[in-house]
Amino acid sequence: MDAPTAAEPGLTFRESPQNPAARIRDIADLCVKCGLCLPHCPTYRLVGIEGESPRGRISLIQGLVGEALTASDRVVEHLENCTGCLTCQSVCPAKVPYGELIDLGRAQLRVRGRRRSTSTRILGVLSRSRVVTGILLGLLRIARRLRVDRLALLFGIGPNHWLGRVLAHLHIPARNSAFRPTEIASAQPGDRQVMLFTGCVSRSLDPATLTDTTRVLERIGFRVNVPRAQVCCGALDLHDGDPVTARNNAARNSVAFGTLDQPIITVASGCAATLAEYAQLAPVGGESLSGRLTSVEAFIEEYLSAEEQELGTLDGRAVIFEPCTARNPRLRPSASRKLLERVPGLDVVELGTGLGCCGASGHHFITRAGQADALAAPIVQEIAESTPDYVVVSNVGCALHIGSLLSSWADPPEVLHPISLIARSLARRD
């Protein structure tokens, strides 16, 4: 990125946290406060408050490091409300690395004693421990059967409280749907092999997408290697002001995926956006990992085009919602539409982006439910007007959020990953 820190020439905050205040001053000074980002910012468009804009947040962060502001509740709220969509960064004429800056700002809140909320800390623990996650998912299944969400209302835990949100809305997959990965010890001569990054949320809450991904890849002749030592990509920690944990995760994943010349397939665009930064987060091995990344949609579409493969007929209408991370300027353009348009009989429509973000934003759809639902409202309205059979989303958080909002409909469309439709199409061809 631009503008190295004075203390550590050539290093960004992603690479070293030793002088974050100097880094903030350097890159925040790039912002000329022109305001061209304001009409593109989802939270500013939602409420029209300067503190909810990129320009306003940059000023708040400058105030923090300059000791002109304290980490007050209001400052914390404005900085934490940012969804991290990075649309502002893509339109900024001064090329301000806003994504890095907002992460730096949140880290400054931690330095000043403002801890992450209880809900955020709990979700962070879940992202790091499959055992704990498995236990809690089992407890949530029991809670659902006992309708604990109704009991929670008696204690003031309503649908906008993070725990009420989890109890009432979060999709919990059936126990027997767990993804069962295979780690391949070594490649055999002539093998066509790929590696699969599962992610913590996808593995826990969207195992069907990982299973469909494996089936499709194996169906077209690839062996799928799922390294057991892989961990969370680090996105939740990085964007919540904990770069140390994020870099530790990046280092562990870089070792787990090694330096083999094999593509690394991702199914969640949110993970892919963070993995793409591993050259900075994990100086040893990170560049190799990020350089081998490809989304499953792009990989399958490229293969089908090269091999001139046909897909089976699948009737119905599919509307595609492209998450912010799939529109991220650091990544290749999304291949979801191009891939699904290859399916005979499928009417493919791409949705607009509403206010610019669906509001899922990692854990915001749980911890900041009111804001998240307001941001998603125009997208949900457009889905209703499109009368689809399928709502296609390539990021697990966005899919969970949109799916929870559609679940109250009398006959909701199915919300799924594009690879799941390809799996069905291939099955029809057989």
- When the pLDDT of each residue in the chain is averaged and rounded to a whole number, the result is 88
Average pLDDT, stretch 53-69? 96
Put simply, whether the predicted model's pTM sits higher than 0.75 gets the answer yes
Average pLDDT, stretch 10-35? 78
Q: What pLDDT shows up at residue 304? A: 92
Give Cβ neighbours of residue 348 (< 8 Å, ≥ 6 apart): 317, 318, 320, 337, 340, 341
Q: What pLDDT shows up at residue 282? A: 92
What does DSSP say about strands 414-416 and 390-393: parallel, antiparallel, or unpaired? parallel
Phi, psi of 160 (to 5 degrees): -95, -5
Answer yes or no: is 55 within a domain: yes
Q: What pLDDT shows up at residue 105? A: 95
Asked whether residue 340 falls in the same domain as residue 381, the answer is yes
Q: What is the pLDDT of residues 117-137, one digit of tens each?
A: 777 777 776 667 777 777 777
Which residue, of 264, 298, 332, is where some domain finishes?
Answer: 298
Asked whether residue 155 falls in the same domain as residue 197, the answer is no
Q: What pLDDT shows up at residue 265? A: 97
pLDDT above 90 for 76: yes
pLDDT above 70 for 240: yes
pLDDT band at 247, cuts 50/70/90? Answer: very high
Q: What is the pLDDT of residues 348-365, one digit of tens each?
A: 999 999 999 999 998 899
The DSSP 8-state label assigned to residue 116 in this structure reads P
Answer yes or no: is 8 within a domain: no
Q: What pLDDT shows up at residue 424? A: 96
pLDDT band at 6, cuts 50/70/90? Answer: very low
Asked whether residue 144 falls in the same domain as residue 155, the answer is yes
CATH of the domain at 217: 3.40.50
Give the whole-angstrom CA distance, residue 276 versus residue 269.
10
Answer yes or no: is 2 within a domain: no
CA nearest neighbour of 407 among 165, 201, 169: 169
Average pLDDT, stretch 311-318? 95
Answer for the pair 302, 331: CB distance below 8 angstroms, yes or no: no
Q: Which residue has the higher pLDDT, 8 or 52?
A: 52
CA nearest neighbour of 417 among 335, 360, 358: 335
What does DSSP say about strands 223-225 and 193-197: parallel, antiparallel, or unpaired? parallel
- Please give the structure tokens belonging to residue 426: 């291939």
**Residue range of the domain that includes 122:** 118-174
Average pLDDT, stretch 197-217? 93
Asked whether residue 420 falls in the same domain as residue 343, the answer is yes
Asked whether residue 203 falls in the same domain as residue 261, the answer is yes
Which residue, of 174, 200, 222, is where some domain finishes?
Answer: 174
Answer yes or no: is 13 within a domain: no
Task: Flag the least confident range among 13-17, 89-93, 133-137.
Answer: 13-17
Average pLDDT, stretch 239-245? 91
Asked whether residue 215 falls in the same domain as residue 279, the answer is yes
Asked whether residue 287 falls in the same domain as residue 332, the answer is no
Asked whether residue 167 falls in the same domain as residue 215, the answer is no
Q: What pLDDT shows up at residue 154? A: 66
- Please give the structure tokens belonging to residue 211: 């299973």
Which residue, of 94, 111, 128, is where some domain finishes?
Answer: 111
Average pLDDT, stretch 171-185? 77
Helices 118-128 + 130-145 axis angle, to 10 = 120
- The beta strands (E) that lie in 122-274 are given as 193-197, 223-225, 264-266
Please list the alpha-helical segments (H only) found in 170-263.
Answer: 200-205, 207-219, 235-239, 243-257
Answer yes or no: is 7 within a domain: no
Q: What pLDDT shows up at residue 261? A: 87
Asked whether residue 252 falls in the same domain as residue 364, the answer is no
Asked whether residue 125 falls in the same domain as residue 199, the answer is no
Asked whether residue 417 falls in the same domain as residue 349, the answer is yes
pLDDT band at 12, cuts 50/70/90? Answer: low
pLDDT band at 185, cuts 50/70/90? Answer: low
Q: What is the pLDDT of residues 381-427, one digit of tens each?
A: 999 999 999 999 999 999 999 999 999 899 999 999 999 999 999 99
Asked whether residue 328 falls in the same domain as residue 423, the answer is yes
Average pLDDT, stretch 21-38? 94
Answer yes or no: is 71 within a domain: yes
CATH of the domain at 42: 1.10.1060.10
- Please give the structure tokens belonging to residue 66: 């300059």
Answer yes or no: is 151 within a domain: yes
Counted domains in the chain: 4
Answer for the pair 394, 417: CB distance below 8 angstroms, yes or no: yes
Average pLDDT, stretch 319-329? 87
pLDDT above 60 for 9: no
Answer yes or no: is 12 within a domain: no
Structural element, H or E, at residue 287: helix 286-291
